[in-house]
Amino acid sequence: MEVKKEFKILGWIIAVFVFAYYMPIESLRYREAVIAMFDLAKWYAREHVILCLLPAFFIAGVIAVFVSQGAVMKYFGAKAKKWVAYTVASVSGTILAVCSCTILPLFSSIHKRGAGLGPAIAFLYSGPAINILAIILTARILGFEMGVARVVGAVIFAIVIGSLMSLIYRKEEKARQEEQLNFPDIPDKRPMWKTAFHFFILVAILIFANWGRPGDETTSGIWYWIWSNKWIITSFFSVFLVISLIYILKLKWQYVLLAVLATAVSAWLSASPLIPMVAGMAGLSIITLTDKRDPDNREWTLSSWDFAKQIMPLLALGVLIAGFLLGSTHDDTALAGIIPSAWIAGLVGGNSVFSNFFASVVGAFMYFATLTEVPILQGLLAAGMGKGPALALLLAGPSLSLPNMLVIRGILGTQKTVVYVTLVVIMATISGLIYGSLF
C-alpha cells in the first residue's frame, strides 16, 4: 500500500514536470487562454461569489436546518404525490434568479433532507433554466418563439429527465422510499409560515441584489425601473430580514441592530454594494454563531459553511478550466480559450444532428452566468449559428456547466452525474432538431 502511494506521488511529480517542461508559453493562443482563465475567475469572484453564492449558501442552510425533513418529504419525498413533486420542482426556477452554480447548494440541501432523486433532479435542472428574467430577455432579443420554446422545453426537460433518473435508479429509490414511509411525522419546531417567510425574504434579497440591467438601451419600463432601484428594493427586504431575525429566530435585538448599524456605516463609506453585503453577512454569521438561546441559529450558519466548503473549491477549479478551454465572454470582454470560438461557430450552422449535438455538448460544459447566455447566443446567431442549435445550447447551457458537473459528482457520484448530463444533452439535441425544422 505504501509503495502504491509513493508511486502515485511520483506520477504526479512527473506529470507536473512534463507539463512545465513542454508548456507552450511562446504561443499567443495559449497566453490568451491563460489570461481568459484568470479573467473569468476574477469576474466570477467579483460578480457572483458575494452577491450570488454566499446568499445561496445561507438559503441552503435554512432548508437544511429550519425546514424539517418531514416538510421536504411532504412535497418531494415518497409520501408526496408525483404530480405535486414534479410540478413544484419543475417551476421552481420562476422564483429563483440563479445560475447553474448558485442552484447547487439548494439542490444539495433538499437532496440531503430526503427529496426523491426525480424531483431533486427536476429542481436542479429547472432552477437556472426557467429563470423568469432570462425567459423575458430571450423573447425580447432572440424572438418571441425562441422565448416560448425555451419555457416549454425547460419545463418538459425537468419533468422528463427527473422521471427518467427516477426510473433508471428505481431499485435504489424504492429502498429509499421504504425508509421514508417509516419516517415518523415530527412536528415542526415553529409554524411553517414563519420558516417560509424567513426563506422567501432571503430569496427576495438574492433576486433583487442580482437583478441585471435590461438587454437593450431603454430607460423606461418596469424592468429598467426595478434595476435602477434594485438596492432600495433589496434594502426594503433587508428590513423584513431584521424583523425575521428578531421575532422569528428570537435573536437578541441589540446584537441584530448592531449588525444593521455596521452594515449601514459600511454602505455609507463605500461606493461598492459588495462591502455592505459582506458586512451584513459577517454580522449575521457572528450573531447566529454566538446565540445561546436556540442551537438551530448557530447550526444555520455552520450548515451554510459546510455547503461553502463542499462547493466552493470545485467551483473555482471548474471556472478556471472552463475559462482556459472556452474563453471568457462576459460583458464586453472577448478573450478566446484554447479552443477557437470560430471553430464552435462554424460547427453549429444549419440544423443537422451533429450541429445540434455539438451545440448541446458545448453548452453543457461552458459556464453561463444568469442572463449572459442571451447576448452570447445573439453573437453566435449573427455569426451563422442555426436556430435549432441555438435552442439546444439554451436548453443545455444555463443548467449545466463544468463547475456544476464537478459539484454534482460530489453529491450524487460519477455514474448518476454522467447519466444526468447525457440525458440533458440528448434531449437538447432532439429539441433543437425539432425547433430547427419548424423555424
- Digits of tens for pLDDT over the chain (439 positions)? 577 888 888 988 999 999 888 888 888 888 888 888 888 888 878 877 888 778 878 887 887 778 665 666 566 665 667 777 777 777 766 655 566 676 777 777 777 766 778 888 888 888 777 766 567 667 766 777 888 888 888 888 888 998 898 889 888 777 766 665 555 555 667 777 888 888 889 888 888 887 777 765 566 678 788 888 889 999 999 999 999 999 998 899 999 999 999 999 988 888 888 889 889 999 999 999 998 888 888 988 998 898 788 777 866 776 787 778 777 766 666 777 787 767 776 788 788 899 999 989 988 887 766 556 766 676 577 657 788 998 898 888 878 888 888 888 888 888 999 999 999 999 999 999 999 888 7
In a domain, residue 285? The reply is no
Q: Which triple of cell numbers denotes residue 169?
A: 435508479
Q: What is the pLDDT of residue 40?
A: 81
Q: Which triple of cell numbers denotes residue 116?
A: 426523491
CA-wise closest residue to 60 among 304, 247, 230: 304
Strand-pairing partners, residue 335, are 328
Q: What is the pLDDT of residue 287?
A: 93
Biggest CA–CA distance in the chain, Å, is 69
Instruction: Enumerate long-range contacts of 179-185, CB under 8 Å, 24 or more apart.
Output: 180/73, 180/77, 180/78, 180/79, 180/114, 181/78, 181/79, 183/69, 183/70, 183/73, 183/114, 185/70
**DSSP per residue, 194-246:** HHHHHHHHHHHHHHHHTPPPPSSS---SHHHHHHHTHHHHHHHHHHHHHHHHH
CA distance 171 to 180: 14
- Count Cβ atoms within 10 A of the Cβ of residue 224 and give its class: 0-12 exposed, 13-18 middle, 19 or more buried: middle
**Residues 415, 423, 127, CA angle at the centre, nearest 5°?**
95
In a domain, residue 304? The reply is yes
CA distance 395 to 432: 9
In a domain, residue 130? The reply is yes
Q: What is the pLDDT of residue 146?
A: 84
In a domain, residue 406? The reply is yes
In a domain, residue 263? The reply is no
Q: What is the pLDDT of residue 89?
A: 73
In a domain, residue 282? The reply is no
Q: What is the pLDDT of residue 132?
A: 60
The pTM of the full predicted model, rounded to 2 decimals, is 0.67
Q: What is the pLDDT of residue 309?
A: 83
How many domains is the chain built from? 1
In a domain, residue 394? The reply is yes
CA distance 209 to 202: 11
Task: Give residue 327's region: left, alpha or beta (phi > 0; psi -120 to 50).
Answer: left
Q: What is the pLDDT of residue 337?
A: 79
Angle between helices 253-269 and 274-289 (to 10 degrees): 160
Q: Is the dihedral of CA 92, 93, 97, 103 positive or negative?
A: positive
Domain span holding position 67: 27-214+221-251+291-438
In a domain, residue 271? The reply is no
3-state secondary structure at position 335: strand
